[in-house]
Amino acid sequence: MKAFFEGIQYLFVDILFAPLDLLRSLELKSWFGANTVNWILMCICAYAIVYWCKQLKLHQDNGEENQDTTAHSFLTK
């Protein structure tokens, strides 16, 4: 049973977390290089928010948006 848990430890520590160890060692040399993944994810999220807002505006301009507060029965009480 001990070998099973040591196998799980080896998988996570030595294999799956190796890229994170690389980023941690890269931070001492270049902060921007170590945070490249964060910058990429922030750019993707910013693009998604802009796209979502454009789609909301498009549906509102077409009159497809139902903004009636009585759309849900619990709001009419």
CA-to-CA separations, 71 to 2, 38, 74, 75, 76, in angstroms, rounded = 58, 39, 9, 8, 9
Closest by CA to 34, choosing from 20, 42, 23, 43, is 23
Side-chain-facing half-sphere of 72: CA atoms under 13 Å: 4
Task: Please state the pTM of the whole predicted model.
Answer: 0.60
Q: What is the pLDDT of residue 32?
A: 87
For the stretch 17-37, pLDDT in tens is: 998 888 888 888 998 888 988
Question: Average pLDDT for residues 65-75, to the nearest whole number?
Answer: 67
Is the per-residue pLDDT at 48 higher than 90? yes
